[in-house]
């Protein structure tokens, strides 16, 4: 294998750090992974620096093992590397690049006051997970680290700097740090001026332009692997420095890329630990608290519905059922169990037969909840079958997303020509795809590479940087080169599935006080 004709994407996801190596045909040829989990420390959802550092190194070591087993050679170099990570959050740095607080992830719902005030000030929705909301909330609280603040970044930006020495983001990731002007391809100057006025009132010496990270477009080079970076990523010492890097992106941008959804009127739904729908729009819709405006990796505006909770509650129930199987001596492979249970959901009543669940491990902005409690409920005469139980949890995983999507498609009449699904929710063929089609009432396509997700998308952004023709746009590169002969399946739910989801959703919305009561009393 010619290692220089490969591209490597590494993504720090919510439950797994994963690396995907692709060849010059844009096909995955090797993978590495490391499982991890966020921690609630002092009421802050976070990952420690030790977990970030050790996890990335373990993931890369696993990738090296896979390459050695498959090709009989050491992974000493690649054509390019790209880092992606959980969108946005808050990681403030001092002048030496050292973190000033714990990494505050997307899952936190601690910035409600700041998000509300900034949305009113800007006339532009600022979600709670955005970096600027975290920064302003810290200012409102008068946090002690702010006088020493030199830069804010994201986990992808932090790791990129660790490997290259460059403080920079991709524009898609930057659009969740602070709003982007998609015409000028800069941070929005008017909003920056308004925020600087707030900084001045509080007496800080820095200004927003000083602490915001710079950003680059897809296709531009964002530095190269330093000797220190090579030693950090590969402590075994096999990896050579000098490898070029693509701009670091968030999992929204890599998801768009992995599903060929970067052109206007295309969209994708990423469903894993969290789920989110992203629709590339021709123009900005009206301001809605439930709709975020981010950009593609090339700066086009994207309307986004983001939900903090998706498959975590499903994972917990599957774990319980696996434990039961083991207790009766019926050991079962976890992957096989997921497949069996997902397929069983297809046999359930279309409206779940009187069963209901809320998958809220954490707060949920779309339904205006600052905390979460997983709840399973049923009526006394409900049809309590395994099929209905699993279907309930699969529909619950999409219910909040559907509430937000209706604002885009019904209220704002945003057109969608193509909708793709990707992420762990779609791994069992045909099941998650059918549930999403029932939710949105339109066909849903899933590509053969749907399970590869964000790290695959990041690897494609590396390939675009390496192998694009002069003047070739990202959407053309993906359409004409990467996905021209890609295998995908398209599925349209039955009308009975669609009507069943609507009935389930009506009960779901009507019973939201149950979830609020659980938060207040548990």
Give the pLDDT confidence of 348-390 residue by residue, as tens digits.
Answer: 999 999 999 999 998 898 998 989 999 999 999 999 999 999 9
Residues 367 and 497 in one domain: yes
pLDDT at 442 over 90: no
Residue 414 has pLDDT above 90, yes or no: no
Cα–Cα distance for residue pair 348/131, rounded to 1 Å = 42
**What does residue 125 show for φ and ψ, rounded to 5 degrees?**
-65, 125
Contact in structure between 47 and 105 (CB atoms under 8 Å): yes
- Which one of 218, 244, 259 terminates a domain? 259
Total count of domains within the chain: 2
Summarised one tens digit per residue, pLDDT across range 136-177 is: 999 999 999 999 999 999 999 999 999 999 999 999 999 999
Range of the domain at 238: 3-259
Does residue 279 belong to any structural domain of this protein?
no
Same domain, 339 and 195: no
pLDDT digits (tens, 9 = 90+) for 194-211: 999 999 999 999 999 999
| Encoded tokens for 203 | 């007496």
Q: Is the model's pLDDT at 450 over the cut of 90?
A: no
CATH number, residue 334: 3.30.420.40
459 inside domain = no
Q: Give the whole-number percent of the chain exceeding pLDDT 70.
A: 99
pLDDT of residue 451: 60
Q: What pLDDT is stored for residue 130 in this prediction?
A: 95
- The DSSP secondary-structure symbol of 372 reads -
Instruction: Report d(CA 359, CA 395) in Å as an integer.
Output: 10
Tell whether 506 and 375 lie within a shared domain: yes
Mean pLDDT, residues 242-266: 92
The model carries a pTM of: 0.84
Written as six digits, the tokens of 423 are: 């992420």
Which ranges constitute the DSSP H helices of 308-375? 312-327, 334-345
Share of the chain above pLDDT 90, in %: 80
């Amino acid at each position: 294998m010619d290692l220089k004709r490969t591209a490597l994407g590494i993504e720090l996801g919510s439950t797994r750090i994963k690396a995907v190596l692709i060849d010059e045909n844009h096909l995955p040829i090797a993978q590495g992974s490391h499982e991890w989990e966020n921690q609630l420390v002092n009421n802050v959802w976070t990952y420690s620096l030790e977990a970030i550092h050790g996890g990335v190194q373990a993931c890369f070591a696993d990738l090296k093992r896979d390459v050695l087993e498959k090709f009989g050679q050491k992974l000493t170099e690649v054509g390019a590397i790209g880092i992606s990570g959980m969108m946005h959050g808050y990681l403030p740095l001092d002048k030496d690049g050292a973190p000033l607080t714990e990494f505050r992830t997307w899952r936190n719902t601690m910035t409600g006051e700041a998000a509300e005030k900034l949305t009113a000030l800007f006339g532009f929705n600022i979600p709670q997970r955005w970096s600027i909301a975290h920064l302003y909330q810290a200012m409102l609280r008068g946090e002690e680290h702010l006088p020493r603040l030199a830069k804010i970044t994201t986990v992808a930006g932090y790791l990129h700097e660790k490997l290259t020495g460059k403080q920079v983001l991709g524009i898609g990731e930057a659009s969740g740090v602070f709003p982007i002007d998609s015409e000028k391809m800069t941070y929005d100057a008017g909003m920056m001026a308004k925020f600087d006025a707030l900084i001045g009132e509080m007496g800080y010496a820095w200004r927003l332009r000083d602490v915001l990270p710079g950003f680059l477009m897809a296709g531009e080079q964002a530095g190269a692997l330093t000797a220190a970076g090579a030693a950090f990523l590969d402590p075994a010492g096999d990896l050579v420095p000098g490898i070029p890097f693509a701009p670091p992106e968030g999992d929204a941008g890599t998801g768009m890329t992995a599903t060929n959804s970067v052109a206007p009127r295309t969209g994708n739904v990423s469903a894993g630990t969290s789920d989110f729908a992203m629709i590339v729009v021709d123009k900005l819709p009206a301001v809605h608290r439930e709709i975020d405006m981010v950009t593609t990796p090339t700066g086009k505006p994207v309307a986004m519905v983001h939900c903090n909770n998706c498959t975590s509650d499903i994972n917990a129930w599957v774990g319980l059922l696996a434990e039961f199987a083991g207790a009766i001596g019926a050991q079962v492979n976890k992957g096989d169990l997921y497949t069996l249970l997902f397929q069983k959901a297809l046999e359930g009543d279309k409206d779940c037969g009187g069963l209901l669940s809320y998958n809220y491990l954490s707060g949920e902005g779309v339904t205006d909840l600052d905390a979460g409690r997983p709840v399973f409920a049923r009526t006394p005469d409900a049809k309590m079958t395994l099929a209905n139980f699993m279907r309930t949890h699969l529909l619950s995983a999409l219910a909040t997303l559907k509430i937000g999507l209706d604002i885009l498609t019904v209220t704002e009449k945003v057109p969608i020509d193509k909708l793709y699904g990707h992420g762990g929710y779609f791994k069992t063929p045909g099941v998650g795809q059918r549930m999403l089609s029932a939710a949105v009432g339109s066909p849903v396509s899933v590509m053969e590479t749907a399970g590869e997700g964000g790290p695959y998308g990041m690897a494609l952004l590396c390939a675009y940087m390496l192998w694009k023709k002069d003047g070739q746009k990202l959407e053309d590169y993906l359409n004409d080169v990467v996905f021209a002969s890609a295998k995908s399946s398209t599925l349209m739910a039955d009308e009975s599935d669609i009507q069943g989801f609507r009935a389930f959703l009506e009960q779901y919305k009507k019973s939201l006080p149950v979830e609020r009561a659980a938060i207040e009393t548990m």
